[in-house]
Amino acid sequence: MRKKTKKTREIIQDQELLKKISPVGRISHHETYTRTGTGYEACIHIWDFPAGLNDYWLTKACNQPNTITTISILTKDQTVVKKNLNKSIQEQDSRKRFAKEYKDFYDAAVREEEMKKLYDEINSLGEVIKSIEIRIFAVAKTRMELENSVAGILTLPTAKAGGFLLQPLLHWR
C-alpha cells in the first residue's frame, strides 16, 4: 500500500509588485460601489441580450472610458440543464392548464414548445449549452463621476444591464 505525501509549494511574494498594485488607504464596500483609497469602483452586469446581434454589438458597452470588461463563458452541465428544462416544461404545462385567458395559454404553449425543442436538441444532437456572464467594472475618482459613468453605461441600447445590490464585496474577492 502506498502512502500519500503532500507536496508543499512555497509561494514567493514580490513585495515591490504588491506595493505598486495594492490599493492605498482603506477599502469599504457599500450597496452599489466600493470605496478604496484611490477612488470608487462599481460592477455592472449585462443580464439580457438583444434578440438580433450584429458583429460589434457589445463594442459601445466595452469601450467606455475608465472601465474594464470581463466576459466569462462556461459550459453548463448537461444533467443540470435537462433537469431545469424538465421543471420549466412542467411549469409551462401547468400555466397552460390554469390559464384564464387565451393569450396566457398561447404564451405558455409557445414557451413549452421552445423548451421541448431545446430538450430534444440536447438529447439527440448532443447540443452544448453555454452560459455567458459579462461584467463591466467602472472606476472614478469621485462618487459623482462613478454614478455618471454607470448611468451612461446603463442607458446604452445594446443590452439590459444593472448593478446588483450588495455585491461589491463578492466581486472584490
Would the pTM count as exceeding 0.85? Answer: no
Positions of the chain with pLDDT lower than 70, given as ranges:
1-11, 23-25, 31, 158-159, 163-173
Give the pLDDT confidence score for residue 45 in this predicted structure: 86
Q: Are residues 110 and 92 in the same domain?
A: yes
Q: Are residues 116 and 138 in the same domain?
A: no
**pLDDT tens digits, 34-66:** 787 778 888 888 888 777 778 887 888 788 888
**pLDDT tens digits, 16-26:** 887 777 766 67
Q: Are residues 53 and 66 in the same domain?
A: yes
CATH code (residue 139)? 3.30.70
Does any domain span residue 46?
yes
Q: Are residues 30 and 53 in the same domain?
A: yes
Q: Are residues 82 and 67 in the same domain?
A: no
Does any domain span residue 15?
no
Q: In total, how many domains does the chain have?
A: 2
Give the pLDDT confidence score for residue 151 in this predicted structure: 85
* Domain that residue 164 falls in: 26-74+131-172
Q: Are residues 69 and 154 in the same domain?
A: yes
Give the pLDDT confidence score for residue 110 in this predicted structure: 95
Does any domain span residue 146?
yes
Task: Determine the Cα–Cα distance for residues 61 and 46; give it in Å rounded to an integer.
Answer: 9
At position 5, the amino acid (one-letter code) is T
Does any domain span residue 154?
yes
Is residue 161 within 8 A of residue 136, CB to CB? The reply is: yes
Q: Are residues 37 and 118 in the same domain?
A: no
Give the pLDDT confidence score for residue 102 in this predicted structure: 94
Nearest residue to 161 (alpha-carbon basis) of 47, 64, 65: 47
